Structure 1
Amino acid sequence: MLDLAAPTAADPARGTRSRRAGRHATRRAHAAREEPAVRPRLAVLIPAHDEEDRIAAAIEGLWKQARRPDLIVVVADNCTDGTADIAAAHGAQVFHTQGNTHKKAGALNQAIAWILPHMDDRDLLLVQDADTVLDPCFTETAEGTFNRRVGAVGGVFYGEDGGGLLGLLQRMEFHRYAWELERTGGKAQVLTGTGTMFQARVLREVRAARRSGLIGGGTGYYSLASLTEDDEMTKAVKTLGYRTMSPAGCAVTTEVMPTLPKLWHQRLRWQRGALENLRDYGWTKVTARYFVQQFLMGFGALSFLVYLTFMVTSITFYGWPGLSPFWTSIGLIFVLEKTVSVRRAGPVAVLVAVLMIPEMLYDLFQHAIYFTSLWGLLRRTEEKWVAT
């Protein structure tokens, strides 16, 4: 620590020595600032339960990153297939969970508790789903996004090919979400489980906050009480005062649900989990916007159902009412927005958006999920986790 006290006139030699020492200290400080900072280490955790068909692609995607991880760990959770052997063959270390009954959150809590003591506060930990492949620029972009205010960086997810019309509708939905993220400067509403990078110190703060009672969810890192641990983690990180980001360079490709029953169970878990997280957190500075979003979602769904009922009833009893210039123009603006927002998904997606009917049916499906989730929450029925 430098002594900045001014020298006294009674000792001019001391003053000369002090000024010379000060100049040397200044030069050393400038040199220290010019030296490149030591790069934080990057570790990756991939929770996996019987993922032998996909784990190799996930690991290879990580090795192809512009910023290669220092360590890849596959968290083999109650696996009964060849996931662990395939992971080891592709250069990953395998961590086997012990007695875990809490699905993904429990597996991650065990793995994080094992690896975090070996990491410095500024080191980075990436959590990635086993059915996901990251864009080659993901880790480099995410690392460059961190600053003192950003506590976690999540991916921008896109759907993989396949799945017929249902798969296409999901890809269109994901493209719209990516478009909205881009328009808002990459501010993440949810830290997606497909791929999210944390600073080690933030995870330590999350656990400390849970143990102190500032936030709920148990005493670990991820909440064991939530159906959607990623949504809950987003609120936990924000509650601690950090920002969450999803920059465009952090693209990930994940699976789409091939059938309506699978999509129903997936989205029902997402929606019910989001509502339960809001109930548990209550109205706060962080959750206020999420409450408003849920209200607007419900209001929009209800308005759409009322409009359809009115149109069907009107046409049934009075015939086709004709075209109103005002409402036709409003409808054209709506179609234009729907079309522009999926233009990057390809010409087929644009055509489906223009046709409107497929997406209207898809919206009705989503609305049914919303009201089913809300009714289950009000009745306090238990929503069981269903593998998709």
Structure 2
Amino acid sequence: MSAVMVADERAAARAPAVGPAARRSRVIVLIPARNEELGIVAAMESVEAQTRKPDRRIVISDNSTDGTVERARSRPGWEVWETVGNRGRKGGALNQAWAILEPTLSDADFVLTMDADTILDPHFIENARLKYLQEESNGLLLGGVCANFSGLPLNTALGALQMMEYARATKINRSRRGTAPVLAGAATMLSVQALRSVYRERGHLYEPVLTEDYELSLVLRAHGYVTLAPSACRARTDLMPTMSALWAQRLRWYRGAFEALRAHGFEPGIRSDIAWLAFSLWAAASRWLFLIALAATAITVGHMTFSPWLLLLFALASLLRVIQVSELGWKYMVLAGLMVEELYYALFLEAVLWRSFYLACTQRSAHW
């Protein structure tokens, strides 16, 4: 363990090694955290409040220099591990923890990874386990169950737009019958059996890439596992407070997705992701081309005449957007119906998307 992690050795020793034949599934919670003293206790409390209590609860402090370790150790029933020589950030911390845990786990067990700024719904573990049992009885090979996310309170226009974006993502997951392309690292319960299929192939779980959770999701799907985000599994997470922070977050997400897909190519199980990203790029380009065409028409002709049918199309689009955010309340429905602020928000995200595509195509793969 010298080159892996400093852990609570007594707690690790208490965990018995169990064989694959054992069918009583256990749930081990892992919270990687780096300088998260402000939010770590709230995340831990959401785990403690679960209706189905986890069997082990572990905070993995990754090179923290604030009070993260002290605050985590103040909560009874938790183990606190500290990484050693980790340069892979979150994925590297989870790799070190997995190297310690893997010999003690059964294929029937689950590992729940969550960010230190995530608040789980009290029924998350209970509902995720139930989903595994249901799909197992149906003969489905289920690799992971991810949360549907909403945002923690941020009383700004930018916060409202992000809340609406998350609400629409939840609607899309429902329309896919819960199928999710990515098992978001913010809160996902993973099958140990599925994780072992990856670990045995490449000797570690997470690659040191920008979006380690998406890359792992691709590998699991290439191995034949299904990834889900059931509507009953919910969590809340921090929203980006500024446009610059949102730009940095989405640049990492989008660029990481492009680079992960480029690395895996046309492997079975992930080709639909390539098609979806290609469609997203085309949709983003078409919106900009439409605006350029409007501007060119106004300049060259001097005026524009809108067909009533076009106004009807806008009205139907507005109605659809209102329905998608109806669960958030009437204020969000009004904002969605006006479509003005969301148009600027969409243009912003599309600019990030194209910037990410450019960087992924013209520069070496970005690592942590």
Please give the TM-score of this superposition, normalised by the length of structure 2: 0.89
Counterpart for residue 234 of structure 1: 217
- Tell whether 2:358 aligns with 1:366: no
Moved more, 82-91 or 264-273: 82-91
Q: CA deviation at 1:384?
A: 6.2
Q: Select the residue among 31, 51, 69 that pairs with 1:84.
A: 69
Do 1:41 and 1:123's aligned partners in 2 also have CA atoms closer than 8 Å? yes
Moved more, 306-315 or 76-85: 306-315
- Partner residue, 1:199: 191
Aligned with 1:293: secondary structure? helix
Cα distance in structure 1, aligned partners of 2:105 and 2:224: 22
Q: d(CA) in 1 for partners of 2:200 and 2:39?
A: 34
The amino acid across from 2:153 in the alignment is D
Which residue does the alignment assign to 1:113? Answer: 99
Residue pair 2:259, 2:365 contacting (<8 A) in 1 also: no
Q: Which amino acid aligns with 1:139?
A: I
Aligned residues of 2:224 and 2:269 also touching (Cα < 8 A):
no
Distance 1:328 1:280 in 2: 44
The answer for the alignment partner of 1:299 in structure 2 is 282
- The residue aligned with 1:8 is none
1:247-280 deviation line (CA, Å, top 9, x unaligned): 1111010000000111101000000000001100
What RMSD, in angstroms, separates the aligned Cα atoms of the two structures?
A: 1.4
Q: Deviations over 1:263-316 (max 9, x none)?
A: 101000000000001100001222211111011101101100011111122234
Q: Which residue of 1 aligns with 2:110?
A: 124
How many residues of Structure 1 are paired with residues of Structure 2 in the alignment? 340
- Tell me if 1:151 matches 2:150: no
**In the alignment, which of 253, 258, 265 is matched to residue 275 of structure 1?**
258
- Whether 1:139 and 2:131 are equivalent positions in the alignment is no
Q: Which residue number corresponds to residue 220 of structure 1?
A: 204
Name 2:49's counterpart in structure 1.
64
Check if 1:176 corresponds to 2:168: yes
Give the distance between the partners of 2:29 and 2:150, measured in 1 at CA: 20
Q: Return 5+ residue gaps in structure 2 as ranges.
A: 1-21
1:349, distance to aligned residue in structure 2 (A): 1.3
**Cα drift, residue 319 of structure 1:** 4.1
> What secondary structure, in the 3-state scheme, does the structure 2 residue paired with 1:269 have?
helix
Question: Does the 8 Å CA contact 1:187/1:245 hold for their aligned counterparts?
Answer: yes
Match of 1:21 in 2: none
In structure 2, what is the Cα distance between the partners aligned to 1:163 and 1:277?
Answer: 34
Question: Is the 8 Å Cα contact of residues 41 and 124 (structure 1) preserved in structure 2?
Answer: yes
- Could you tell me how far apart the structure 2 residues matched to 1:327 and 1:248 are? 35
1:327 aligns with 2:310: yes
Q: Render the CA deviation track for 1:144-198: whole Å, top value 9, x for unaligned.
A: 1112511111111111111501111111000000011112111111101111111
Report how far residue 382 of structure 1 moved: 5.3
Identity fraction in percent: 36
One-letter amino acid of the structure 2 residue matched with residue 87 of structure 1: A
2:229 corresponds in structure 1 to 246
Paired with 1:293 and 1:323, the residues of 2 have a C-alpha distance of 31
Following TM superposition, where does structure 1 have runs of at least 4 consecutive aligned residues deviating by more than 6 angstroms? Answer: none
| 8 Å contact kept, 1:272–1:374 | yes
Q: Is 1:342 matched with 2:325? A: yes
| Counterpart amino acid of residue 312 in structure 1 | A
**More displaced 10-residue stretch of structure 1: 93-102 or 179-188:** 179-188
Higher relative contact order (CA 8 A, sep 6+): 2
**Aligned counterparts of 2:358 and 2:155: Cα–Cα separation in 1:** 30
For residues 29-54 of structure 1, what are the alpha-carbon distances to aligned partners after superposition, in whole Å with 9 as ceiling and x for unaligned? xxxxxxxx963111100000000000
Asked which structure has the greater CA Rg, the reply is 1
Q: Is the 8 A contact 2:222 2:269 kept in 1?
A: yes
**Shift, 1:381, TM fit:** 4.5
**SS in structure 2 opposite 1:47?**
strand
